[in-house]
């Protein structure tokens, strides 16, 4: 089978590597418009559960990635000078470029040489392939070329965010909420290397407008964010990498394939950064697509199987991501709560965690929270 993969991000690389490893006779051509060493953003996050899921299907790749990851067991929230630690929430992170470098090496090891600096202008250029895997991200050429056929919808959250890095080391995945005279900010920050951290700054549209960010350069915006989070950064600077203000894009497709074309990763769906699952979803899509193709002799039947088996799982996670994003759309209001109530609302925001699960998962936090409620009740 001749396969064209468009997009050299984690999803495209993972699919190409996994399929070629299992089917050495297959011809796979992978096209990526950017140079091999180019990426945007900084670190990516995997939950412990996500890593175990990947390990079950491809232990060699997880074994290659795991030693390069930073890991922690807790989440820390900072509000009005107080800190709350939520125990039992395990995550690991790795630099996005480092992850790509590892996956690129694995792709080459199975006999695929990705074609970098190669832009596909039209799917007509890919005639003769039995399967076209569109792993070409949020602005997918394949999806945009057949929006009606895929049943594609694109919308945006109202909050603004800018994705920075910093040399400041954070011990856990942390969030710092800051109220200024012109509005509220939130920073999502975590280390992805011993000496580097992601530092994603978010604010609501009203705050963004009051600061006049629309008329600010990247450097001016960065300087303001450094000032807002000066105490958090502790003298360290923010580092920009295409760190412009964005609105989070919501991508969804009712139909996951059309003819011999199939979507995976951000080309297919997006999940809000507050649940840290974009890279995980792309890789899991790749795994699911490989399994579906191996289960059927006909490509059309395989693509139907891929959608029918994978779609309910993704819908569940994307629904949780939307609920989480809705919480962040109103985070300035939540900041008015007491710090323990704020933390409780935060950790239960997606609707996936109830009190029973929270007691089992985060016993120290839940004991502190319930003690605070008893104290309130005794007043």
Structure tokens at 348: 């239960």
378 falls in which pLDDT band (50, 70, 90)? Answer: low
* Among 245-254, 343-352, 362-371, the least confident range: 343-352
Residue 183: partners with Cβ closer than 8 Å, 6 or more residues away: 203, 204, 206, 207, 208, 210, 211, 332
15 falls in which pLDDT band (50, 70, 90)? Answer: very high
Domains of the chain, start order:
2-39+94-156+247-328 (3.50.50.60)
79 or 59, higher pLDDT: 79
Residue of 30, 47, 350, 341 whose CA lies nearest to 173: 47
Q: Contact, 323 vs 351, CB < 8 A?
A: yes
Neighbours of 326 (CB within 10 A): 13
Q: Cα separation of 235 and 226, whole Å?
A: 9
For 238-266, give the DSSP string: EEESS---EEEEEEEES-SEETTEEE-GG
122 or 376, higher pLDDT: 122
Which three-class secondary structure string do you get for 163-211? Answer: EEEECCCCCCEEEEEEEECCEEEEEEEEEEECCEEEEEEEECHHHHHHC
pLDDT for 52 equals 82
Answer yes or no: is pLDDT of 376 > 80.
no
Instruction: Look up residue 9 and give its DSSP letter.
Output: S
pLDDT for 36 equals 84
Residue 307: partners with Cβ closer than 8 Å, 6 or more residues away: 255, 256, 257
pLDDT for 191 equals 95
- Sheet with 91-95: strands ordered across: 43-47, 91-95, 70-72
41 falls in which pLDDT band (50, 70, 90)? Answer: confident
* Among 36-40, 167-171, 261-265, 286-290, the least confident range: 36-40
Span 191-246, pLDDT tens digits: 999 999 999 999 999 999 999 999 999 999 999 999 999 999 999 999 999 899 99
Q: Is 64 helix (H, G, I), strand (E, B) or coil?
A: helix
Mean pLDDT calculated for residue range 46-56: 81
Whether the CA torsion 214, 197, 319, 357 is positive or negative: it is: negative
pLDDT for 379 equals 59
Answer yes or no: is pLDDT of 330 > 80.
yes
Mean pLDDT calculated for residue range 293-318: 96
pLDDT for 219 equals 96
Please give the mean pLDDT across all residues of the chain: 94
Q: Contact, 265 vs 10, CB < 8 A?
A: yes
């Amino acid at each position: 089978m001749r396969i064209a993969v468009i997009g050299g991000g984690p999803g495209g690389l993972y699919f190409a590597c996994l399929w070629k490893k299992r089917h050495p006779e297959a011809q796979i051509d992978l096209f990526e418009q950017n140079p091999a060493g180019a990426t945007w953003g900084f670190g990516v996050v995997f939950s412990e559960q996500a890593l175990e899921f990947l390990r079950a299907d491809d232990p060699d790749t997880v074994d290659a990635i795991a030693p390069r990851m930073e890991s922690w067991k807790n989440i820390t929230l900072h509000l009005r000078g107080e800190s709350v630690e939520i125990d039992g929430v395990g995550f690991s992170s790795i630099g996005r470029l480092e992850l790509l470098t590892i996956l690129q090496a694995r792709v080459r090891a199975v006999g695929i040489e990705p074609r970098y600096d190669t832009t596909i202008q039209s799917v007509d250029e890919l005639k003769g392939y039995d399967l076209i895997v569109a792993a070409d991200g949020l602005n997918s050429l394949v999806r945009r070329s057949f929006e009606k056929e895929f049943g594609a919808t694109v919308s945006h959250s109202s909050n603004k965010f800018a994705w920075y890095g910093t040399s400041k080391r954070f011990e856990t995945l942390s969030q710092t909420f800051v109220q200024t005279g012109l509005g509220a900010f939130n920073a999502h920050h975590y280390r992805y290397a011993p000496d580097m951290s992601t530092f994603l700054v978010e604010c609501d549209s009203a705050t963004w407008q009051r600061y006049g960010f629309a008329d600010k350069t990247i450097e001016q915006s960065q300087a303001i964010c450094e000032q807002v989070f000066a105490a958090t950064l502790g003298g360290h600077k923010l580092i920009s990498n295409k760190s412009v203000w964005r609105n989070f894009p919501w991508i969804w497709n009712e139909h996951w394939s059309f003819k011999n074309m199939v979507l995976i990763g951000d080309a297919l769906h997006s999940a809000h950064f507050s649940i840290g699952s974009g890279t995980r979803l792309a890789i899991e899509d790749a795994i699911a697509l490989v399994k579906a193709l191996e289960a059927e002799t006909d490509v059309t039947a395989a693509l139907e199987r891929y959608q029918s088996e994978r779609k309910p799982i993704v819908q569940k996670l994307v629904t949780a991501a939307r609920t989480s994003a809705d919480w962040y759309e109103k985070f300035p209001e939540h900041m008015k709560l007491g710090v323990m109530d704020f933390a409780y609302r935060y950790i239960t925001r997606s609707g996936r965690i109830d009190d029973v699960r929270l007691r089992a998962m985060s016993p120290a936090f839940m004991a502190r929270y319930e003690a605070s409620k008893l104290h309130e009740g005794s007043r």
